[in-house]
Amino acid sequence: MYGWIWRHLPGNAWVRAFTSLVLVLAIVYVLFQYIFPWAEPLLPFNDVTVDQGRGATR
């Protein structure tokens, strides 16, 4: 998988390394900005209220 990506990146080794770094940072950004904020409320740490219908209070 990673070997395949590396082989398909353009440029010499330095350019590829730089592109890889940018890709990794972009993925981490998307995770922290969009994926994790969506996933985290599905875990129980948010359940701090007494129930008034789960949809409204979680």
Name the residues that contact another protein, by CB under 8 A.
1-3, 28, 31-32, 36, 39-41, 43-52, 56-58
Toward another protein, which CB reaches closer, 12 or 54? 54
The answer to whether 9 touches 20, Cβ cutoff 8 Å, is yes
Nearer to another protein by C-beta: 3 or 10? Answer: 3
Q: Which is nearer to another protein, 22 or 31 (CB)?
A: 31
